Amino acid sequence: MDILSKMLHFLRLFFDNFSHMEQFFKYLTPGEEDKDWGIYVNAAGKLLIPPGLTSYPDHNHPSGYYFTWEKGRILNEFQINYITKGTGIYETMTSKVPIKPGSLLVTRPGVWHRYRPDRGSGWMENYVGFDGSIPRKILGHDKSYSQRPVQWIGNREEFIDTYHQIFEIVREEKPGFQQVASGMIMKLMGYMVSIEKQRNFSGKKVAMVIRDACFEMREEVGKEIDFKQYAEENHIGYSYFRKMFKQYTGIAPVQYHLDLKVRRAREMLIATHMSIKEIAFELGFHSVHYFSRIFKKKTGVSPSEIRKGTG
């Protein structure tokens, strides 16, 4: 074998190995214990679709996942695909969306769809299929992903790192791997929610106003705050401020402030010798009875039970 032949042979082996390392897919059979966990993994994979490929998806996929472009498919699970290279198209009965690098494809159970890479570009596809009561609650009622099943998130290291962790967990299938992998999927969904929230506040003045309000509440937790006046001082309508504050934090500003007060009260009950009445007044409550009622409603135990160490 001459030098040129050796070099070609070496390069062929190198690219064969590279292709093997780049690709991985696995389909799982979760048990009842896995399903009772609330979230379980059905499939995971990373596929490199080269340019010029005429058949997609690969025929090696199980019948429940394989589809033809003409018929499309309907899944009985959620699937999140992250396209990191290449371009393509994603279609549902109501939308047709071009795919570019950095696209996140969120497919919901019972929704007809089809997708494929452009023949001229191919693509790199990372995907995970999962189901359970938890994702059906989180993603099943999320209008942003039902109305816009394809969202561009760009190059996100935290996303690709989470996918790779799922692949390694699934590949090894150690005892309890379903529970660990499901935790990674929760992390993935958390990133998705975070990005969506950030998108709603990008470049908006109200985001800074909300951050300042949260800071002020934490710094002076016992201070009374008139949120209507606060919004007016920042030249924002109160109803808009309240709506955006709830989107930003998950709860309304008054409840956010009350939660901080209760958390601080718990710390004071454990770490100081102040009476319950003194703590209530220190944190801006004008009635010990009201303070005790709010405290028990939010923590499940009374201030006196915390003080006695029984709560």
Q: Does residue 218 share a domain with residue 182?
A: no
For residue 11, pLDDT over 60 is answered with: no
Give pLDDT tens digits for 47-94. Answer: 999 999 888 988 888 888 999 999 999 999 999 999 999 999 999 999
pLDDT value for 248 = 85
Q: Does residue 286 share a domain with residue 239?
A: yes
Range of the domain at 118: 3-200
Q: Does residue 212 share a domain with residue 288?
A: yes
Q: What amino acid is encoded at 152 in this protein?
A: W
- The fraction of the chain above a pLDDT of 90, given in percent, is 66
Identify the domain boundary among 181, 200, 219. 200
Give pLDDT tens digits for 94-113. Answer: 999 999 999 999 999 999 99
Contact call for residues 56 and 82 (beta carbons, < 8 A): no
Q: Does residue 157 share a domain with residue 39?
A: yes
For residue 20, pLDDT over 50 is answered with: no
Q: Does residue 148 share a domain with residue 22?
A: yes
Q: Does residue 124 share a domain with residue 258?
A: no
For residue 140, pLDDT over 80 is answered with: no
Strand spans (E) along 148-295: 150-152
For residue 311, pLDDT over 70 is answered with: no
- Between 15 and 3, name the one with better pLDDT: 3
This model's pTM is above 0.85? no
Give me the chain's average pLDDT, please: 88
